[in-house]
Amino acid sequence: MQNVKELETRIVSAKRFLNAEMTACKARTAVSAFTLSEIGFFQDSIHEVERIGLRNLKDLDFIKIRRVLTSVEARMKLSAN
């Protein structure tokens, strides 16, 4: 259960960051670490996990969402936003 709680926290953080990045891209107020298509891919991956539910994920799905979150978090560290 600890892994599920940790993933929930990481997902909320990633969603918040991706929404801020999308706003920055659309408003062109800041340089974004992502393109709009990349933001869309990451958001789609997160939404799919939320739709299925973390507790219902299979092992391969856990690996996929962890990779997505790790990629988003790496860019969060580099982002000016």
Per cent of the chain over pLDDT 70 is 90
**Helix (H) / strand (E) containing 19:** helix 2-27
Q: What would the pLDDT profile of 1-26 be if each residue is shown by its tens digit?
A: 457 888 889 999 999 999 988 888 88
- Residue 32, pLDDT > 90, answer no
- The stretch 51-55 carries a mean pLDDT of 84
- The stretch 28-54 carries a mean pLDDT of 84
Enter the DSSP assignment of 79. Answer: -
76 vs 37: CA distance, rounded Å: 17
- Residue 81, pLDDT > 70, answer no
